[in-house]
Chains A and B, each alone.
Chain A
Amino acid sequence: MIVVNTETIVGYTICETKGLVQGNTIRAKHVGRDLAAGLKNLVGGELVGYTELLIEARRQATERMLAQAEQLGANAVVNVRFTTSAITQGAAELYAYGTAVVVEREA
């Protein structure tokens, strides 16, 4: 599965558009990470726990999107976008969406 955030894929031709595919996940931080973050807020620096949380959330949303694309019989997803929304305090939704297409390698 080829995933890009451009409308076309360099080196490939899009033969068929299967439609919009999407994946989302809502993640909450936990207390342990919160404590560490509270301390870090005094001295600054990277919040590794939160970075990991963000990476996990993004992966999960992408995976769900790709599962949908696979179900449609696509072999690539183009024009992928990520957005987030704050649903409640301390939790965030991560949403990935794109267009599922069937591509063929250019000769």
Chain B
Amino acid sequence: MTAPDDTAARYRRPVPVLWWTGRRPYLLFMIREFSSVFVAWSVVYLLLLVRAVAAGPAAYRGFMELSASWWMLALNVAALALTLFHTITWFVVTPKAVAVRVLGVRLPAFMVAGPLYTAWIAVSAFVVWLLVR
């Protein structure tokens, strides 16, 4: 009863907990938000790999065996799908959030998103070149 806004809150219509399951755009929104869990998982997984590499060849082999187990593969296939979803939704949203102006004219969305996709492909190609040789 400290904040004056409590009065207003009591007149607000309660929102059902699963409000986002009813409509497709709402559901996609929530999947996008929860894709961040898989972004975090992917980084944790990479750090575990680095830790195994630091511990020596035997630990690296052990990690590779673990990563080939069916449940770890399933987890990482899900992580791949959701991090791809993250990348695409991120590049779709960025031109809406970042207004790039040249000579006072706002650049169209594709001229903001285009360089992002280019950078994505270039960085991915560089990582593959670095690791697969």
Co-complex (A, B): no
B residues sitting closer than 8 Å to A (CB atoms) are none
Which residues does A use to contact B, with CB under 8 Å?
none
